[in-house]
Amino acid sequence: MTSATKSFTKQAAAKKNVTKIVARRAVLAMPEYHPPLAGRDALRLDFNENTLAASPKVIERLKQTTAEGLTKYPEREGVEKIAAAHFGLQPEQVVLTNGVDEAIHLLCAAFLEEEDEALIQTPTFFMYEVSAGMMTARVKKVQADTSLEFPYERFLAGMTPRTKLIMVASPNNPTGAVVSREHLLGICAAAPQAVVMVDEAYFHFFGETVMEDVERVPNLIVARTFSKAYGLANLRIGMLAGNAELMKYVRKVSSPYNVNGVALDCLPVALADDAYVQWYAEQVHAGRVRMMDGLRELGVDFFPSHANFVLLKIGAKHAELVTAMRAHGVLLRDRSADPGCDGYVRITIGVDEHVTRGLAALKASLTEIGWRPSEGLAVQTETDKGGREYE
Ligand SMILES: Cc1ncc(COP(=O)(O)O)c(C=O)c1O
């Protein structure tokens, strides 16, 4: 058989290999998340990761991974004890997960019936909508107004007796806006029938937490990731902390080996190296101030951020800017498709040197695309749709 005939036969077989099976209605209806991951061989200011490296102590621990070690199924329990002790909690109050992505998925699987409502704000981290949409068609989204601050009053108004899961990121992605402790506890009190997950993925760049409130607020669950300040995004490890009864349900729906053993080996070392995380957070704090000063000089308007990124108002040339930056070896994330974010682009704040490179590339790229500050300011009026209630 010639190679042309072989290829034809394969195509014919593929055509025959059709199926009438379709996924659940909820799967057909849920949105898809396609992060633009291809070709990230550049300065990564697009995904809010640590831009440098994990703690050298973690790297040392990684080197101790043995061939025999890889043959074993991972054991999560011992490391959950260590993590719980680190946060002043009981082991029953903690579940380690395959990143916060999986934690969100587990919460939706554990708590959302088809007829229940999930409540989120928009814009926010897209995986809330993806995972909740897998369980229920009733995902209520409360749109922020043009300030992009958390719409507290309208959020409360969006609750109904059917609200079963509420997910709030503070600091929020992609805005960097935060929700006060008073408002987070207000949400918990207003919806005692709902699980309230506060996503503190960017905690280290803000400094405020509701972790201590987990002890006395029965419906509060706090999510933490080790993908950001700790620089372990590739190991996929995150954590949920909350009421032991709720954690029992989460444990029940999670696979027993959801977190790989290499990540489990590294986590205690990462948690113990507080000096490293503090150092990284300080780099980001200083870099954020420098970035915001630089943006002011360039005439780029932005949202004041409490996280390791800043959302810039670019206007019609948002995609052109992302392309120009890539040519300078710097990746940015175009957030224009997010609700209420038309014309917005997000830049990650990393270590000092990376902020310098990011700012230099930004300056050169804005000049190259012929961008003027008036284009960014025009964004405000174009997107001023006045905060829709929910969709
Ligand atoms: C608010 C928020 N939560 C969770 C995540 C994902 O965390 P992980 O890497 O632990 O899955 C992100 C990632 O960007 C995020 O922005």
Separation CA 273–CA 126 (nearest Å): 31
CB burial of residue 5 (10 Å; 0-12, 13-18, 19+): exposed
Closest protein CA for atom 5 of ligand 1: 100
Q: Is 225 in the pocket of ligand 1 (CB under 6 A)?
A: yes
Query: What separation in Å is there between the alpha carbon of 20 and the centre of ligand 1?
Result: 35
Residue 375 Cβ < 6 Å to ligand 1? no
Q: How far is the CA of 331 from the centre of ligand 1 (A)?
A: 18
Q: What span, in angstroms and rounded, lies between the C-alpha atoms of 107 and 230?
A: 23
The contacts of residue 91 (CB under 8 Å, 6+ apart) are: 77, 80, 81, 84
Q: Are strands 333-334 and 344-348 parallel, antiparallel or unpaired?
A: antiparallel
Residue in this structure with the two tokens 């699980």, named with its chain if needed: 195
d(CA 284, CA 309): 9
**Span from the CA of 218 to the centroid of ligand 1 (angstroms):** 24
Residue nearest to atom 3 of ligand 1 (CA): 201
What pLDDT was estimated at residue 380? 53
Name the CA radius of gyration of the chain, rounded. Answer: 22
Is the CB of 48 within 6 Å of ligand 1?
Answer: yes
CA separation for the pair 258, 240 (Å, rounded):
13
Under a CB-based contact definition with an 8 Å cutoff, are residues 213 and 185 in contact? yes
CB contact burial 232-257 (16+ within 10 A = b; e otherwise): bbebbbbbbbbbeebbebbbeebeee
233 lines ligand 1 (CB under 6 A): yes
Residue 162, classified by CB atoms within 10 Å of its CB into exposed (0-12), middle (13-18) or buried (19+), is middle
Does ligand 1 come within 6 angstroms of the Cβ of 199? Answer: yes
pLDDT of residue 1: 64
CB 227 within 8 A of CB 277: no
Largest CA distance in the chain: 73
Query: Which residue has 């935060």 as its token pair?
Result: 178
Of ligand 1's listed atoms, the one at least distance from the Cα of 227 is 9
Residues facing 140 on adjacent strands:
119
* 64-273 CATH fold: Aspartate Aminotransferase; domain 2 (3.40.640)
The tokens for 196 are 């309230």
Report, as ranges of residue numbers, the positions in the chain whose pLDDT lies below 50.
381-391
Tell me the CA distances in angstroms from 138 to 23, 159, 190, one per residue in order.
18, 12, 19
Ligand 1 centroid to Cα of residue 231, in Å, is: 12
Distance 126 CA to ligand 1 centre (A): 9
Q: Which atom of ligand 1 is nearest to the CA of 202?
A: 1
Q: Cα 215 to the chain's mean position, in Å?
A: 25
User: For tokens 């291809």, what's the residue?
Assistant: 38
Ligand 1 within 6 A of 49 CB? no
Q: Give the span between the Cα atoms of 104 and 199, in whole angstroms.
A: 9
Residue 98 Cβ inside 6 Å of ligand 1? The answer reads: no
Alpha helices, DSSP H, located in 17-166: 25-29, 56-63, 67-70, 77-86, 99-111, 127-135, 152-157
- Pick the atom of ligand 1 nearest to 172's CA: 1
- pLDDT value of position 12: 73
The reply to whether ligand 1 has any atom less than 6 angstroms from the CB of 125 is: yes
Complete DSSP assignment for 114-128: TT-EEEEEESS-THH
| Pocket test residue of 101, 102, 224, 260 for ligand 1, highest count of atoms within 8 A of CB | 101
Ligand 1 centre to CA of 333 (Å) is: 15
How many CA atoms does the CB half-sphere of 69 hold within 13 Å? 12
**What pLDDT score was predicted for residue 16?**
79
Take residue 170 and report the two structure tokens written for it: 């503070």
Rounded distance from Cα 101 to ligand 1 centre (Å): 6
Please work out whether the CB of residue 171 comes within 6 Å of at least one atom of ligand 1. Answer: no
* Residues, the chain: 391
Cα of first residue to Cα of last residue in the chain, in angstroms, is: 57
DSSP secondary structure code for residue 369 in this structure:
T
Residues of the chain with CATH 3.40.640.10: 64-273
CATH 3.90.1150.10 for domain 29-50+275-382, yes or no, is yes
The per-residue pLDDT for 15 is 74
Residues of the chain with CATH 3.90.1150.10: 29-50+275-382
Answer yes or no: is the C-beta of 176 below 6 A from any ligand 1 atom: no
Residues whose CB is less than 8 angstroms from the CB of residue 26 and which lie 6 or more positions away in sequence, other chains included: 114, 133, 134, 135, 136, 137
Tens of pLDDT, residues 236-246: 999 999 999 99
